[in-house]
Amino acid sequence: MTSSAPHLHQASTHTDLVDWGVQPDALEGASHSTGKLVHKGPNNQPESGIWVCTPGRWRLSIPRDELCHFVAGRAT
């Protein structure tokens, strides 16, 4: 089967993540993020990648639909 979706081979073992820094709008804790943009389509949609963050609490506004697949941890 063919697919246009990017394949994130062994996503949980990536070591070449970029330091994205501390979450600027933190409500609690000092959540630190790292990640890697894997694919960006025409007009920047869709995009996919890997995002890793330490515990913390903040408000987040997503300007369009988003799908998250959690390998570990949780979000509310």
Cβ-contact 28, 39 below 8 angstroms:
no
Q: How many structural domains comprise the chain?
A: 1
Blockwise average pLDDT, block size 10, the chain, 76 residues: 65 77 89 87 81 88 79 81
Return the pLDDT at 14: 63
Return the pLDDT at 75: 81
The pairs formed by 26-35 with CB atoms below 8 angstroms and a separation of 24 or more are: 26/56, 26/57, 26/58, 27/57, 27/58, 27/59, 28/56, 28/57, 28/58, 29/54, 29/55, 29/56, 29/57, 30/54, 30/56, 31/55, 31/56, 31/57, 31/58
State which residues form the domain around 34.
Answer: 1-76
**Is this prediction's pTM over 0.85?**
no
